[in-house]
Amino acid sequence: MNALLEVQGLQTEFVTRSGVVRAVDGVDLVLHKGETLGVVGESGCGKSVTSMSIMGLLPKGVSRIAGGDIRYNGTSLLSLSAAELRKIRGNKMAMIFQEPMTSLNPVFKIGSQIAETVRFHMKVSKKEAWSKAVEMLTKVGIPRPEQIAIEYPHQLSGGMRQRVMIAMAMACGPEVLIADEPTTALDVTIQAQILDLMRELQEAQGTAVLLITHDLGVVAETCQRVVVMYAGQVVEETDVKTLFRQPKHPYTRGLLASLPQLAGEQHRLEPIPGSVPNPAEMPKGCRFAPRCAFRTDVCDTVPPELTEVEAGHKCRCLLVQEGLL
């Protein structure tokens, strides 16, 4: 199956007071048409930086892609000019941001913001673009779309603003949709509605979705494959069912052990000790070793590679690779 989006050995760096820090270090991702790939991990593991790198939205002057490649339909996005990238971004590739209140322009009406995207990419009249904006608001389940289109972001609830973001992202029928924590700030019932809406639009348009989240429950419900990130690296990759039934990496096991259980025997939550390492002071060997209950001396000195340990199942752990875990 041909890949729609390929990320190969991505390295993203930031300039800080402590020097140059590598926030994403050698990340590989493959996204196929129509599938949903989940990217999970704790805050600070590099998920959002990876998505911003893919979309070409890294802050200028303080960040850069130091290595690797990002290919869309076989074309390297890193080789494109800013003008060429703008033609793809928002049209063929779109993104739903984590905070809709800060992503929407507070001084422009909802309909105008969606219509602007439509006019830029589809070259239609103002009237046609406005009609398309109202149509998209209807598709995402917003009541009174004509009225909402003339209102401002602050007049809407969080769930409504997130629907607006989805309407804007899907307006031009993108082939790739990157959703960065799309339900984080919403209550549980609204989360379910937003996820159902994304699934319906994906099925209707055949869009491939890269879903970035820290919520394993969301991954279990929506994704076919999943990538687990830790400290800027991919530590495990497999299909969703295998991940939940037979997690390999100690970090993935820790994430699953920390999930609350609703039924069965009394279950005590098991937090992962310690915290994510400072990107400027990464451990010499395995980056998870300082927090790992299974670590050995070799884990502290030898950095493991991401290796296929079973068919379709990759893991970055020396103990797993040697059959000791």
Given a contact cutoff of 8 angstroms between Cβ atoms, the answer to whether 95 and 55 are in contact is yes
pLDDT in tens, 41-86: 988 899 999 999 999 999 988 999 999 999 999 999 999 999 999 8
Do the strands 3-16 and 63-72 form a parallel or antiparallel pair, or are they unpaired?
Answer: antiparallel
Could you give the CA distance from residue 274 to residue 288 in angstroms, rounded to a whole number?
10
Q: How far, CA to CA in Å, does 9 sit from each of 6, 136, 165?
A: 10, 36, 30
pLDDT tens digit string along 268-288? 777 888 888 988 889 999 999
Q: Tokens 């530590």 correspond to what residue?
A: 235
Query: For residue 280, what pLDDT is reported?
Result: 86
Q: Over the stretch 8-27, which tens digit does the pLDDT of each residue have? A: 999 999 998 888 999 999 99
pLDDT digits (tens, 9 = 90+) for 207-258: 999 999 988 888 998 999 999 999 999 999 999 999 999 999 999 999 998 8
Domains of the chain: 3-230 (3.40.50.300)
> Helix (H, G, I), strand (E, B), or coil: what is residue 36?
strand
Range list of β-strands (E), the chain? 3-16, 19-32, 36-40, 63-72, 75-76, 93-96, 176-180, 208-213, 225-230, 233-239, 307-310, 313-315
Q: What is the rounded distance in angstroms from the CA atom of residue 215 to the CA atom of residue 186? A: 13
